[in-house]
Chains A and B, each alone.
Chain A
Amino acid sequence: MVVSLLLALPATLGLWLVSGGRGLPLRVARPLAAGMAVATLGLAVAVALTGSEVDRAWLPELGVHWSLGVDGISVPLVLLTALMGVVVTAHAWVEVPSGGTPATFLGCLLLVEAGALATFTARDAVLFLVAFEVVLVPMWVLVGRYGDPHHPRARTEAAQRFVLYTAVGSTTMLVGILLLVASAGTADLRALAGGAGAALGSGTQLAVAALLVAGLAVKVPVLPFHTWLPPAHTTAPTAGSVLLAAVLLKMGTYGLVRLPVATVPDGFGRLAPVLAVAGALGIVWGGLVCLVERDLKRLIAYSSVAHMGFVVLALASGSQTGLQAALFANVAHGVVSALLFVLVGGLKQRWGDVDLAVRRPALRETSPRLGFALVIGLAASLGLPGLAGFWGELLAVYSAWAPAADRPRALLVTCAVVAAVGAALAAAYALRVAGLVWAGDRPDPEVRRTPDTVGVERWLLAGLATLVVVLGVAPMLVLSVTADAVASVGGAR
C-alpha cells in the first residue's frame, strides 16, 4: 500500500499544480512541492525498508496487473529518484526559470518524479511502458517552456527532438514488449525473469531482445543514438538537467537490466557484442568530444555519454560482476552528474552563459566554495578512487576483461582496453575544465567577482558532494543492496 502512496502523492500534487493550482504564487507552491518531495523521500525509505508491494488486476482482459514493488535492483534507484526530487524542488529557492507559472514548473518536476518512481517500481511490463512514457510529457514542458530563455528557437527544437527521438525509441520498445508479452503469455516481470522469457524460442528471443535494446538504447543513450542528449541538456533549466541526467537516463539502463537482460538472456547474449562495442566506442567518443567542446553544459552531457558507455559495457559482459558494476556506475553517475549540473546551472545563472572560450576570473580565487564543489565533481567524473565514479568504472573494465563464458572473449578484452583508454581521456577533459574554470591567475580587482555560493545552493552542493564521497568510500552501501537481486538475475541465465 505504501508503494501506491509513493506514486500517488507526488502525482496528485503535480497534476493539481499543472492544472487547477497553476496560478498558485511561488511562496505557496514552493514549500508545498518541497514538502511533498521530502514526504516522498520518507515514503521511499519506508518502501525500501519494508519491501511494500501491491498487485491488483488492472486490465483483466489483457492480463495487465497494477503490480508494484521493489527489489535490490530498484531500491537504489527509487531512493536516488526520491532524493533528486528533493534536490530539484529545493533548487527552486535558487532559481525559478521563466516561461510559465512557477506552480506549473514545480508540478512538472513532481510529475517527472512520480513517473520515474512508477517506472522503477513497476512489476508489469505494460505498466512499466506506461510509466516510462508518462515521464516524457512533463519533461517536454520543462525543456520546451522553461528552458534557456535566450534562445527560444533552440529551446523548441531541443524539446521536440527530445520528445520525438525518445518516443521513437519507446515505440520500438512497445513492439518489443508486446511481442514478449504475447509470446510468453504473461506481462508479469517476475514470471518473465523467472523462466517464462527464457523458455521462448531463440528466434523470438533475438527479435524481442533486438527491439528492446534498440528502444532502450535511445534513452540510455548508447552511441550512435545519443544526439538528443546534448541539446536537451544545454537548453533545459538546471532542475530539468538534473532530472534528465540523474533520473531519466537511469530509466534506460534500468530497463535494459529488467527487460532484455533478465527476461531474454539468450537473445541479449547474442546482441551483447554489438552493445559492448557501442559502449566502448561511446566512452572514447564522449571523451574526445569533451576535449574540444566549448559549452560546459554540453561538455557534461557528452561526458554522460562516456559514463553510460561504461554501464553498457558492463551489462554486455554478462557476468554478475558486470551487472553489479553497471548498477553501481548507474547510481554513481546520477549523483555526480546532479552535482555537476547544479553547479554549472549556478555558473550559467551568474555568467549568462558557460562558454569555455570566454576567460573569466578563476573560481579558486573568487569563489572557493563553488571551486571546491567543482573539483570534487570533476575528480569524480575522471574516476578518482574515494569518489563515486571509481568503483563502477574499474569493475566495468574488469567485467569486460573477464566476461561470461558465452561472450566473445577477444572482442570484449579489446573493449576493456578501449575503455581504459577512455578513462585517461576523462582525466584530460576534467583537467581541461579545471584549468579553464577553476585554476587561474590572481584576479584583477577591477573585474567583477563571481559571487560564491550561499544559502540553499550551498547546502545542495555540500549534500551532493558528501554523497559522492560517501559512495566512493563505502561502495558496499549500494553493492550489498543489489547483490542478492543480481545473483537471482544471473541465476536465470
Chain B
Amino acid sequence: MNPWLLVVVPAVASLLGVAVRRDDRIAQVVAVVAGGATLLLALVAWISQSGSVTGFGPALPVGELHVPLAVVTDPARLAIVTVVALVATAVQLYSTWYLRTDDRYGQFAATVSLFTAAMLLVVVSSDLVLTVVGWELMGWCSYLLIGHWSRRATARRAALKAFLVTRVADIGFVLGIVGLAAGAGSTDLRAVVAAWDRPTQCIDSAVAGGSVLGDALTACSAPDARLRAVLLALVVIGVLGKSAQVPFQDWLADAMEGPTPASALIHAATMVAAGTVVLAGLHPLLEDSPSARWFLGVAVSVTMLLAALLAFAQSDLKRMLAWSTVSQVSIMLAAIAVAGPGTGPDAGLLHLWSHAIYKSLLFLAIGWAAVVGGGTAASALRGSGASTPVLRAAFLVGFLSLAGVPLVVGGVSKEHVLSSAWDGAVAADGPGVLVLVALVLTSAVTAAYSTRGYLVLTAHVRQRPSAGRVPATVPGLLWVLVVLTVFGGLVVLTGSFAVHRVSLFWLLLTVLVVGVGVAVALRGGFDRDPAEVLARRFVPLADRGFGVDVLYRRLVARPVLRLARVVAFVDTEVVDAYVRGAAVATRAAGWAGVRLHRRERPSAGVGLVLGAVVVLGLVGVLAWS
C-alpha cells in the first residue's frame, strides 16, 4: 500500500470538512468515516506489511538541493500510525457528543482531521522538509483548537501563547533541519543520516592500522562532529518547544482552555509526542553525538521531575493531566537521550505508543466527569468518577497505567525505558546516570499523583452524582480504550518495536518505587485529597506553574515590544528623515534661486554688461597689440 494514502485520507477529509462545515450531520459523517478509514488502512498495513515501503513524492526542482519529498512506512512507524489514527478516531467520535451543541463543530472536526494528517505526515516522513511541513501545521492546528472557544479571552490568550512559544523554539528546529540538509545536499532522511553519520568502521580500522585519530577522521572524510552536535542541539530545541519541555513548558497547561477532545488529541497522540518520532528518525546521528544527548538528557531530566511535582499539586485535575503529559513526554525523550550506539530509540517510541492509549482514555474520561461534576477543579470533580462503572474502570486502569504499574500498557513501556536508561548509565558517554535517577524519582511522584487523581475522582460523596444522558458510543469508546490499556502491552510481542526483554529485576524495582509513591499519597487516608495533606502551601504556586509566564513576558515579550517601538520610531524619524531632508533641501534651493533671481535682476544685468565691457576691452587690447 502506498504510504501516502495514510496522509491523504485525513487531509482530504479536512478539506471536505471545511466545505460541509455548515451542516453538523454531514460534517460528523465525514470526520468519523475518514478517521475510521485511516485507522483501517493503518491496521491493514501494519498487519500485512513486513519490511519498509517507500512512497515516492513529487521531487521539487530547486537547483542544487535534492528534495525528493518521499514517505516511508516500516513496522515501528505503522504501529505509531495505527495508534495515532485510533486516538484521532476516538476523538472524532467523542466530539460528536461533546460538541453536539457547539455552533462551530464543523470547523473543529475539520481541524482535527488536518491535525491528524499533519501528525501522520511527521510519522511517515522520510524527508526533512515534509517533517517541517507536518510539524508547523500541527502548531497551527493547535492554535485553532486551543482557541476554539475564541469568545473567551483566556482561550485566545492560551492559543496565542501555545503558538508563539512553539514557534520561537521552531527557530532552532528550522535552522537545525536546514543545516543538516545543507551538509548532505539533500533533504532525504537517509541521505542526511549517511552524510552526517560517523564512519565508525573506517575510523576504527584506520586507527587499528596505526594512524592518528585526526588523520583517520580526515581519511574517512568524517563529518564535522562539533557542527553536527550544534545542529542536533538546534533540532532538540525545537523538540523541547513542541513537547513543552523546560524552558518552554508553560504553554501546555494553559492549553487546557481548549475543548477536552482537542486536549486528548494534542496530548495523547499528536503534537507533544511528535518530537519523539523526529528524534527517533535522527537517532543514528544522535547516538554518535554525546553532547547533543547530554543537552537533551539534562532538559528532560529536569522537566520530568518538575512537571511531576507540579502535577501533584494542581488544584485543577485537567491541568494535572496536562503536567503529567509533560512529564511522560520527558520519559519518551529520555529513552532517546540515553540510547547510545547499539541501543535503538524504540523504547521511547513504545512509550509514545502506550501513552497515547492511556492518556486519551484519561482525557476522554475526565471530559465526561467534568460534564457530570460541572467543572475541572478537583473540588468540583470530587466523586464524579464514581457515577458510573465505565468511568470508574477508566480511571482505575488509566491511573494504574500512568503510575507505571507492571503489566498494564504504561508499565510495560516504562520498564523498557528504565532498562535502556540502565544500559545508558552503564555505558560511559551520555546522560544515562542522570536520567536514571530522575526516572526513579519521577516514577514515585507519578504514582503519588495518580493515586491522588483516582482518590479524588472516585471519592465517596454523600449525593452520588448522576452520569447524565450520553449516547452509547461514549461508554463503548471508553471500554475499548480500557481493554487496550490493560492488554496493549502485548504489542512488544509483535516485534514492531526493537526492544530487549526486560528482566524481573526491573519489575520488582518498579513495584517498589510505585509502592513508595502510593504510600506517600495515602498518608492522609483514603478520604482526603493528598495534595491538601502534603502540599497545601505549594498549591497556589503550582497552579501558576512557578510563575514562568511572568518570566516569558518580562524576558521575551516586553523587550521585543520595546525594541519594536524603537525600530518604528527610527523608521519614521531617522530612515525617512533623509528622504524628507532631500525634499526640504530641494525646495530650499529652489526658493533661494527664485529669490536670487528676483532681487538681483538689476545688479545682475549691470554685472553682465560690465563683464561684457571688460571682455570686449580685453579683446580690443589684444587685437590692437
Contact = CB atoms under 8 A, between A and B. Distances in A.
Given A288-B563, A324-B63, A440-B151, A427 B182 contact: no
A218 to B, nearest CB: 11
Contact of B561 (A292, A320, A385, A424): A292
Interface string A412-431: 00001100110111011001
A452 interface: no
Interface string B132-158: 111011001001000100110100100
Contacts of A364: 150
Given A324-B63, A417-B175, A293 B568 contact: yes
B596 interface: no
A319 interface: yes
Nearest to A287: B564
Q: Interface range on chain A: under 10, 10 to 19, 20 to 34, or 35 or more?
A: 35 or more
Contact of A480 (B61, B65, B572): B61
B565 A475 contact: no
Nearest to A165: B579
Given A227-B571, A288-B564, A398 B182 contact: yes
B129 A394 contact: yes
B11 to A, nearest CB: 9
Contacts of A397: 174-175, 178
Nearest to B179: A401
Interface in B516-566: 560-561, 563-565
Interface in B48-66: 58, 60-65
Interface string B448-466: 0000000000000000000
A227 B160 contact: no
A394 B579 contact: no
Given A224-B575, A384-B136, A394-B129, A321 B65 contact: yes
Interface stretch (B165-173, B366-374, B498-506): B165-173
A90 interface: no
A321 to B, nearest CB: 4
B63 A486 contact: yes
Contacts of B181: 398
A397 B150 CA distance: 34
A394 to B, nearest CB: 7
B173 to A, nearest CB: 9
A391 B65 CA distance: 13
A319 B63 CA distance: 8
Interface string B576-607: 10010001000000000000000000000000
A289 B567 contact: yes
A319 B64 contact: yes
Contacts, number: 137
Interface in B426-483: none
Nearest to B571: A289
29 contacts: A164-B583, A165-B579, A289-B564, A289-B567, A292-B565, A293-B568, A321-B65, A324-B61, A383-B136, A385-B134, A385-B137, A391-B60, A394-B132, A394-B178, A397-B174, A398-B182, A401-B178, A402-B64, A402-B65, A416-B175, A417-B175, A420-B171, A420-B178, A421-B171, A427-B164, A440-B151, A440-B156, A483-B62, A486-B63
- Nearest 6 CB-CB pairings of A with B: A320-B63, A321-B63, A402-B182, A385-B133, A439-B150, A483-B61
Interface of A: 161, 164-165, 223-224, 227-228, 285, 288-289, 291-293, 319-325, 362, 364-365, 379, 383-386, 390-391, 394-395, 397-398, 401-402, 416-417, 420-421, 423-425, 427-428, 431, 435, 439-442, 474-476, 479-480, 483, 486-487, 490
Interface of B: 58, 60-65, 129, 132-134, 136-137, 140, 143, 147, 150-151, 153, 156, 160, 163-164, 167-168, 170-171, 174-175, 178-179, 181-182, 185, 560-561, 563-565, 567-568, 571-572, 575-576, 579, 583
